[in-house]
Amino acid sequence: MIEPVLRVLERVDLQRLEALERQQAKPWSRDQLAAALEDEAACVLGAAIEGELIGHAVVARLPFEAELQAMLVTPGMRRHGLGGRLLQEVIEQGRRWGSERLLLEVRAGNAVAIGLYRKAGFGEDGRRRGYYPPHPGATDATREDAILMSRPL
């Protein structure tokens, strides 16, 4: 596999970022993505192969902490370490900001992402019961818990 290049995305990347994000069941809207790209207190990282965007991560700067707000690797490129590389870059960004901790919340049923976060040193801080609406199209219509996780920076 050609090694993906990681870089900070900018406003000109909006269309590509939107196309990538639409691969999610509940994608961020174009306006949300544009706001993240323009927000000086946020950083949108992208991974690309020959110009094609195949992964991204959004991290926001809070007063004392940083928060991972979104992360996606395109389905055909998963399990090659790219999620781990993006997460490492998010950690580095939090350190550059001087943040004390990196926070995130994840669906309790997202075992893959939870595995990725645990491997990167995140621990569970708590749960928000019924925080997420059911997945669109899911047969089980119950709401899903959010797991709150963090790691020191």
Q: For residue 87, what are the CA distances in angstroms to 121, 126, 133, 137?
A: 11, 21, 25, 29
> Among residues 117, 124, 131, 144, which one is catalytic?
117
132 carries an active-site annotation: no
Q: Which stretch binds ligand COA (CB under 6 A): 6-14, 75-83, 88-96, 133-141?
A: 75-83
20 binds ligand COA (CB under 6 A): no
The residue with its CB nearest to ligand COA is: 83
124 carries an active-site annotation: no
Q: How far is the CB of 90 from ligand COA (least distance, A)?
A: 11
* Amino acid at position 142, single letter: T
Binds ligand COA by CB under 6 A, chosen from 53, 72, 103, 147? 72
Q: How far is the CB of 152 from ligand COA (least distance, A)?
A: 19
91 binds ligand COA (CB under 6 A): no
21/139 Cα distance (integer angstroms): 23
- Outline where DSSP puts E strands in the chain: 5-8, 42-49, 52-61, 66-73, 101-107, 123-132, 144-152
Rg of the chain over CA atoms, in angstroms? Answer: 15
99/144 Cα distance (integer angstroms): 29
- Binding to ligand COA in span 33-62, by CB under 6 A: none
Binding footprint of ligand COA on the chain (CB under 6 A): 71-73, 78-84, 106, 110, 112-113, 115-116, 119
